[in-house]
Amino acid sequence: MRSTVLLPLAILGICTLHRVDSEGWSYGGNNGLDWGSDANHPYCTDGDYSHQSPIDIQTSETVLNDKLEPFAFSNHWNLPVTHGELVNNGHTYQFNDNDGIRTVSGGGLEGAYTLLQFHFHFGSTNSQVGSEHTIDGGHYPAEIHFVMYNAKVEADLLGRLAVLGFFIDVSDTTDDTFLGEILLSIRNDVKTAAAGDRIDLNNTIDLSTLPETAGLDQYFRYTGSLTTPPCSPVVIWTVFHSPLLISQNQYNSLLGGTDEEGEVIENNFRIAMPVNDRIVYHSPGTVGAAEEKRQGWKYAVTAIGAALGGIVLCTLVAAVVMLVMKHKKTEAT
Protein backbone atom coordinates (compact mmCIF):
# COMPACT_ATOMS: atom_id res chain seq x y z
CA MET A 1 0.00 0.00 0.00
CA ARG A 2 1.27 3.44 -0.85
CA SER A 3 2.54 5.35 2.11
CA THR A 4 1.86 9.02 2.60
CA VAL A 5 4.88 9.29 4.84
CA LEU A 6 7.19 12.02 3.69
CA LEU A 7 10.74 12.16 4.97
CA PRO A 8 11.10 15.58 6.52
CA LEU A 9 13.95 17.51 4.96
CA ALA A 10 14.88 18.89 8.34
CA ILE A 11 15.42 15.43 9.81
CA LEU A 12 17.36 14.30 6.76
CA GLY A 13 19.43 17.44 6.80
CA ILE A 14 20.92 16.81 10.20
CA CYS A 15 22.08 13.33 9.25
CA THR A 16 25.17 14.65 7.52
CA LEU A 17 27.73 12.28 8.96
CA HIS A 18 28.01 9.44 6.57
CA ARG A 19 30.41 7.20 4.77
CA VAL A 20 31.45 8.03 1.22
CA ASP A 21 32.18 5.09 -1.04
CA SER A 22 34.85 4.63 -3.67
CA GLU A 23 32.74 6.39 -6.29
CA GLY A 24 32.63 9.44 -4.07
CA TRP A 25 29.01 9.34 -3.05
CA SER A 26 26.53 7.43 -0.94
CA TYR A 27 22.94 7.74 0.18
CA GLY A 28 24.38 8.25 3.63
CA GLY A 29 21.30 9.16 5.59
CA ASN A 30 20.38 12.32 3.76
CA ASN A 31 19.37 10.66 0.50
CA GLY A 32 21.43 12.76 -1.84
CA LEU A 33 20.99 16.23 -0.43
CA ASP A 34 24.75 16.82 -0.24
CA TRP A 35 25.82 15.45 -3.60
CA GLY A 36 25.91 18.89 -5.14
CA SER A 37 28.55 20.05 -2.67
CA ASP A 38 30.99 17.65 -4.29
CA ALA A 39 32.91 19.36 -7.07
CA ASN A 40 32.96 16.07 -8.93
CA HIS A 41 29.20 16.16 -9.33
CA PRO A 42 28.26 19.68 -10.42
CA TYR A 43 25.11 18.54 -12.18
CA CYS A 44 23.68 17.36 -8.87
CA THR A 45 22.78 20.91 -7.94
CA ASP A 46 22.28 22.08 -11.50
CA GLY A 47 22.29 25.63 -10.17
CA ASP A 48 18.81 25.60 -8.68
CA TYR A 49 18.03 21.88 -9.02
CA SER A 50 15.68 22.92 -11.82
CA HIS A 51 16.22 19.84 -13.96
CA GLN A 52 16.82 17.18 -11.34
CA SER A 53 15.08 13.90 -10.58
CA PRO A 54 13.18 12.36 -8.93
CA ILE A 55 10.20 14.63 -8.26
CA ASP A 56 6.92 14.51 -6.43
CA ILE A 57 4.12 14.21 -8.99
CA GLN A 58 1.15 16.30 -7.97
CA THR A 59 -1.49 14.59 -10.06
CA SER A 60 -3.94 17.50 -10.07
CA GLU A 61 -1.26 19.73 -11.59
CA THR A 62 -0.27 17.41 -14.43
CA VAL A 63 -1.24 18.47 -17.94
CA LEU A 64 -2.85 16.25 -20.57
CA ASN A 65 -0.59 15.61 -23.57
CA ASP A 66 -2.34 13.93 -26.50
CA LYS A 67 1.00 12.94 -28.02
CA LEU A 68 1.72 10.52 -25.18
CA GLU A 69 0.39 7.49 -27.01
CA PRO A 70 1.06 3.87 -25.93
CA PHE A 71 4.60 2.49 -26.27
CA ALA A 72 5.63 0.03 -28.97
CA PHE A 73 7.98 -2.73 -27.79
CA SER A 74 10.14 -4.55 -30.33
CA ASN A 75 9.62 -8.30 -30.72
CA HIS A 76 13.03 -8.90 -29.16
CA TRP A 77 11.47 -8.48 -25.73
CA ASN A 78 10.02 -11.96 -26.21
CA LEU A 79 13.51 -13.49 -26.28
CA PRO A 80 15.55 -14.35 -23.17
CA VAL A 81 18.47 -12.01 -22.60
CA THR A 82 21.39 -13.81 -24.25
CA HIS A 83 24.10 -11.65 -22.75
CA GLY A 84 22.79 -10.67 -19.36
CA GLU A 85 24.62 -9.98 -16.16
CA LEU A 86 23.80 -8.94 -12.62
CA VAL A 87 25.98 -6.42 -10.86
CA ASN A 88 26.15 -5.38 -7.22
CA ASN A 89 27.35 -1.84 -7.84
CA GLY A 90 27.46 -0.95 -4.19
CA HIS A 91 24.26 1.10 -4.40
CA THR A 92 21.77 -1.35 -5.90
CA TYR A 93 21.46 -4.51 -7.99
CA GLN A 94 21.72 -3.74 -11.67
CA PHE A 95 20.82 -6.07 -14.54
CA ASN A 96 22.77 -5.28 -17.69
CA ASP A 97 21.30 -6.26 -21.03
CA ASN A 98 24.30 -6.52 -23.33
CA ASP A 99 22.26 -7.83 -26.26
CA GLY A 100 21.44 -4.30 -27.32
CA ILE A 101 18.37 -5.31 -29.31
CA ARG A 102 15.33 -4.57 -27.12
CA THR A 103 13.80 -1.25 -28.09
CA VAL A 104 10.78 0.89 -27.31
CA SER A 105 9.34 3.61 -29.50
CA GLY A 106 6.15 5.61 -29.46
CA GLY A 107 5.11 6.90 -26.07
CA GLY A 108 5.84 10.45 -27.23
CA LEU A 109 9.54 9.59 -27.68
CA GLU A 110 11.43 10.62 -30.79
CA GLY A 111 12.91 7.53 -32.38
CA ALA A 112 13.72 4.17 -30.81
CA TYR A 113 15.40 3.69 -27.44
CA THR A 114 17.42 0.57 -26.63
CA LEU A 115 17.43 -1.16 -23.25
CA LEU A 116 20.76 -0.78 -21.48
CA GLN A 117 20.07 -1.92 -17.92
CA PHE A 118 17.47 -1.96 -15.17
CA HIS A 119 17.84 -1.65 -11.40
CA PHE A 120 15.91 -1.16 -8.18
CA HIS A 121 15.42 1.53 -5.54
CA PHE A 122 13.95 0.38 -2.25
CA GLY A 123 13.61 0.98 1.46
CA SER A 124 14.43 -1.27 4.37
CA THR A 125 12.78 -3.93 6.49
CA ASN A 126 9.08 -3.18 7.10
CA SER A 127 9.48 0.19 5.40
CA GLN A 128 6.71 1.74 3.33
CA VAL A 129 9.20 4.20 1.88
CA GLY A 130 11.58 3.32 -0.92
CA SER A 131 10.44 4.67 -4.28
CA GLU A 132 12.27 7.65 -5.73
CA HIS A 133 9.31 9.38 -7.31
CA THR A 134 6.32 10.11 -5.15
CA ILE A 135 2.67 10.59 -6.06
CA ASP A 136 0.87 13.41 -4.27
CA GLY A 137 3.53 13.22 -1.58
CA GLY A 138 3.28 9.46 -1.07
CA HIS A 139 6.03 6.87 -1.54
CA TYR A 140 5.69 3.30 -2.71
CA PRO A 141 7.94 0.66 -1.11
CA ALA A 142 10.16 0.38 -4.22
CA GLU A 143 10.71 1.50 -7.81
CA ILE A 144 12.32 -0.16 -10.83
CA HIS A 145 14.04 1.83 -13.58
CA PHE A 146 14.50 0.55 -17.12
CA VAL A 147 17.29 2.70 -18.58
CA MET A 148 17.04 3.09 -22.36
CA TYR A 149 19.37 5.06 -24.65
CA ASN A 150 19.23 6.65 -28.06
CA ALA A 151 22.66 6.63 -29.72
CA LYS A 152 21.50 9.29 -32.19
CA VAL A 153 21.33 11.86 -29.40
CA GLU A 154 24.63 13.25 -28.12
CA ALA A 155 25.66 11.84 -24.77
CA ASP A 156 25.33 15.11 -22.85
CA LEU A 157 22.03 16.25 -24.33
CA LEU A 158 18.48 15.85 -23.08
CA GLY A 159 16.94 12.83 -24.73
CA ARG A 160 20.09 10.72 -24.71
CA LEU A 161 18.36 8.55 -22.10
CA ALA A 162 14.75 7.61 -21.55
CA VAL A 163 13.95 5.88 -18.27
CA LEU A 164 10.78 3.87 -17.80
CA GLY A 165 9.98 3.90 -14.09
CA PHE A 166 7.50 1.62 -12.38
CA PHE A 167 6.40 1.90 -8.78
CA ILE A 168 6.45 -1.41 -6.90
CA ASP A 169 3.87 -2.14 -4.25
CA VAL A 170 3.79 -5.01 -1.76
CA SER A 171 0.58 -7.00 -1.85
CA ASP A 172 -0.65 -9.62 0.62
CA THR A 173 -1.63 -12.05 -2.09
CA THR A 174 0.23 -11.28 -5.27
CA ASP A 175 3.37 -13.01 -6.49
CA ASP A 176 4.33 -11.08 -9.59
CA THR A 177 5.75 -13.69 -11.97
CA PHE A 178 7.71 -11.24 -14.12
CA LEU A 179 9.41 -9.42 -11.27
CA GLY A 180 9.47 -12.58 -9.17
CA GLU A 181 11.88 -14.32 -11.53
CA ILE A 182 14.06 -11.24 -11.62
CA LEU A 183 14.09 -10.88 -7.85
CA LEU A 184 14.85 -14.56 -7.33
CA SER A 185 17.98 -14.15 -9.43
CA ILE A 186 19.42 -11.70 -6.89
CA ARG A 187 21.31 -14.45 -5.17
CA ASN A 188 23.03 -14.14 -1.85
CA ASP A 189 26.49 -14.35 -3.39
CA VAL A 190 25.70 -11.24 -5.43
CA LYS A 191 24.09 -9.44 -2.52
CA THR A 192 27.31 -9.73 -0.57
CA ALA A 193 29.71 -9.37 -3.48
CA ALA A 194 32.36 -6.72 -3.61
CA ALA A 195 31.01 -3.70 -5.44
CA GLY A 196 31.49 -4.08 -9.14
CA ASP A 197 31.39 -7.86 -9.06
CA ARG A 198 29.11 -9.30 -11.67
CA ILE A 199 27.71 -12.67 -12.53
CA ASP A 200 26.50 -13.91 -15.87
CA LEU A 201 22.76 -14.51 -16.14
CA ASN A 202 22.75 -15.56 -19.75
CA ASN A 203 19.39 -16.84 -21.00
CA THR A 204 17.80 -16.63 -17.57
CA ILE A 205 16.40 -13.10 -17.70
CA ASP A 206 12.94 -13.17 -19.23
CA LEU A 207 11.36 -9.79 -19.94
CA SER A 208 8.67 -11.12 -22.29
CA THR A 209 5.72 -10.24 -20.06
CA LEU A 210 6.75 -6.62 -19.54
CA PRO A 211 5.14 -5.37 -22.79
CA GLU A 212 1.91 -7.10 -21.72
CA THR A 213 1.76 -5.36 -18.36
CA ALA A 214 -1.62 -3.74 -17.77
CA GLY A 215 -1.77 0.03 -17.68
CA LEU A 216 1.22 0.81 -19.90
CA ASP A 217 -0.83 3.57 -21.54
CA GLN A 218 -1.19 5.34 -18.19
CA TYR A 219 1.89 7.34 -17.38
CA PHE A 220 3.43 10.68 -16.47
CA ARG A 221 6.14 12.42 -18.48
CA TYR A 222 8.68 15.07 -17.59
CA THR A 223 12.30 15.96 -18.35
CA GLY A 224 14.91 15.44 -15.66
CA SER A 225 18.16 13.79 -14.70
CA LEU A 226 19.89 10.69 -13.51
CA THR A 227 18.94 10.19 -9.87
CA THR A 228 22.51 9.25 -8.93
CA PRO A 229 25.78 11.12 -9.49
CA PRO A 230 26.70 12.58 -11.92
CA CYS A 231 22.97 13.56 -12.03
CA SER A 232 23.26 14.46 -15.73
CA PRO A 233 20.09 16.27 -16.94
CA VAL A 234 19.67 14.09 -20.03
CA VAL A 235 16.68 11.94 -19.14
CA ILE A 236 13.16 11.86 -20.57
CA TRP A 237 11.24 10.34 -17.68
CA THR A 238 8.22 8.08 -17.90
CA VAL A 239 6.62 7.18 -14.58
CA PHE A 240 3.80 4.69 -14.89
CA HIS A 241 0.72 5.33 -12.81
CA SER A 242 -0.07 1.75 -11.77
CA PRO A 243 2.42 -0.04 -9.53
CA LEU A 244 3.75 -3.52 -10.21
CA LEU A 245 2.65 -5.82 -7.38
CA ILE A 246 4.94 -8.23 -5.57
CA SER A 247 4.68 -10.29 -2.41
CA GLN A 248 6.48 -9.51 0.83
CA ASN A 249 8.82 -12.45 0.19
CA GLN A 250 9.72 -11.06 -3.19
CA TYR A 251 10.34 -7.65 -1.70
CA ASN A 252 12.60 -9.25 0.90
CA SER A 253 14.83 -10.48 -1.95
CA LEU A 254 16.03 -6.90 -2.23
CA LEU A 255 17.06 -6.66 1.42
CA GLY A 256 20.14 -7.79 3.28
CA GLY A 257 22.78 -7.12 0.64
CA THR A 258 25.99 -5.22 1.35
CA ASP A 259 28.42 -3.04 -0.50
CA GLU A 260 32.16 -3.55 -0.67
CA GLU A 261 32.64 -2.07 2.78
CA GLY A 262 30.04 -4.31 4.34
CA GLU A 263 27.44 -1.56 4.64
CA VAL A 264 23.86 -2.70 4.06
CA ILE A 265 22.34 -1.60 0.76
CA GLU A 266 18.98 -0.10 1.66
CA ASN A 267 17.05 3.17 1.46
CA ASN A 268 18.79 3.79 -1.85
CA PHE A 269 16.49 6.52 -3.09
CA ARG A 270 17.17 10.18 -3.72
CA ILE A 271 14.74 12.60 -2.11
CA ALA A 272 12.32 14.44 -4.42
CA MET A 273 13.81 17.46 -6.17
CA PRO A 274 11.92 20.72 -6.90
CA VAL A 275 9.73 20.68 -10.00
CA ASN A 276 10.17 24.44 -10.45
CA ASP A 277 8.84 25.59 -13.82
CA ARG A 278 8.81 22.16 -15.43
CA ILE A 279 5.50 20.79 -16.69
CA VAL A 280 4.57 17.24 -15.77
CA TYR A 281 2.32 15.74 -18.41
CA HIS A 282 -0.01 12.79 -18.25
CA SER A 283 -0.99 10.50 -21.09
CA PRO A 284 -4.58 10.39 -22.35
CA GLY A 285 -4.99 6.98 -20.72
CA THR A 286 -4.17 8.30 -17.25
CA VAL A 287 -7.78 8.83 -16.27
CA GLY A 288 -7.29 7.36 -12.84
CA ALA A 289 -4.67 9.90 -11.89
CA ALA A 290 -5.40 13.49 -12.71
CA GLU A 291 -8.88 13.32 -14.20
CA GLU A 292 -10.40 11.44 -11.31
CA LYS A 293 -9.14 14.04 -8.93
CA ARG A 294 -10.59 16.81 -11.03
CA GLN A 295 -13.86 14.91 -11.26
CA GLY A 296 -13.79 14.72 -7.49
CA TRP A 297 -13.60 18.47 -7.29
CA LYS A 298 -16.47 18.77 -9.77
CA TYR A 299 -18.59 16.50 -7.65
CA ALA A 300 -17.70 18.47 -4.55
CA VAL A 301 -18.58 21.74 -6.24
CA THR A 302 -21.84 20.24 -7.56
CA ALA A 303 -22.75 18.96 -4.11
CA ILE A 304 -22.08 22.34 -2.52
CA GLY A 305 -24.15 24.00 -5.26
CA ALA A 306 -27.01 21.60 -4.70
CA ALA A 307 -26.93 22.24 -0.96
CA LEU A 308 -26.94 26.01 -1.41
CA GLY A 309 -29.76 25.70 -3.96
CA GLY A 310 -31.76 23.65 -1.49
CA ILE A 311 -31.32 26.25 1.24
CA VAL A 312 -32.45 29.04 -1.10
CA LEU A 313 -35.48 26.99 -2.24
CA CYS A 314 -36.47 26.22 1.36
CA THR A 315 -36.17 29.89 2.29
CA LEU A 316 -38.40 30.89 -0.63
CA VAL A 317 -41.01 28.25 0.23
CA ALA A 318 -40.98 29.36 3.86
CA ALA A 319 -41.40 33.00 2.81
CA VAL A 320 -44.36 32.13 0.56
CA VAL A 321 -46.00 30.08 3.32
CA MET A 322 -45.58 32.95 5.80
CA LEU A 323 -47.05 35.43 3.29
CA VAL A 324 -50.07 33.19 2.65
CA MET A 325 -50.64 32.68 6.37
CA LYS A 326 -50.32 36.44 6.98
CA HIS A 327 -52.80 37.10 4.15
CA LYS A 328 -55.30 34.59 5.58
CA LYS A 329 -54.88 36.10 9.05
CA THR A 330 -55.58 39.53 7.58
CA GLU A 331 -58.70 38.18 5.84
CA ALA A 332 -59.88 36.61 9.14
CA THR A 333 -59.66 39.92 10.94
Q: Which residue is nearest to Zn ion (CB)?
A: 145
Q: Is position 241 an interface residue for Zn ion (rule: CB under 5 A)?
A: no
Please state the closest distance from residue 203 (CB atom) to Zn ion, in A: 25
**Closer of 147 and 193 to Zn ion (Cβ):** 147
CB of 246 to Zn ion, least distance (A): 17
Q: Which of 41, 51, 91, 121 is catalytic?
A: 91
| Three-state SS letters, 216-277 | CCCEEEEEECCCCCCCCCCEEEEEECCCEEECHHHHHCCCCCECCCCCECCCCCCCCECCCC
Residues 6+ apart with CB under 8 A from 15: 28, 29, 30
Tell which positions 120-179 bind Zn ion, by CB under 5 A: 145
DSSP class per residue in 64-128: E-TT---EEE-GGGGS--SSEEEEE-SSSEEEEE-S---EEEETT-SS-EEEEEEEEEE--TT-S
Please give the size of the binding site for Zn ion, defined by CB under 5 A. Answer: 1
Contacts of 78-83 with CB under 8 Å at 24 or more apart are: 78/208, 79/208, 80/203, 80/204, 80/205, 80/206, 81/201, 81/202, 81/203, 81/204, 81/205, 81/206, 81/207, 82/202, 82/203, 83/202
Residue pair 156/144 in contact (Cβ under 8 Å)? The answer is: no
Nearer to Zn ion, 139 or 145 (CB): 145
Shortest Å distance, C-beta 153 to Zn ion? 19
**b/e for 177-207, b at 16 or more Cβ within 10 A?**
ebbbebbebbeeebbbbebeeeeebeeebbb
| Separation CA 225–CA 53 (nearest Å) | 5
Q: Which is nearer to Zn ion, 134 or 290 (CB)?
A: 134
Q: Which is nearer to Zn ion, 41 or 145 (CB)?
A: 145
Known catalytic residue: 91? yes
* Least spacing, CB of residue 227 vs Zn ion, in Å: 5
Which three-class secondary structure state does DSSP give residue 162?
strand
Which positions touch Zn ion (CB under 5 A)?
A: 145
What are the residue numbers of the active site? 91
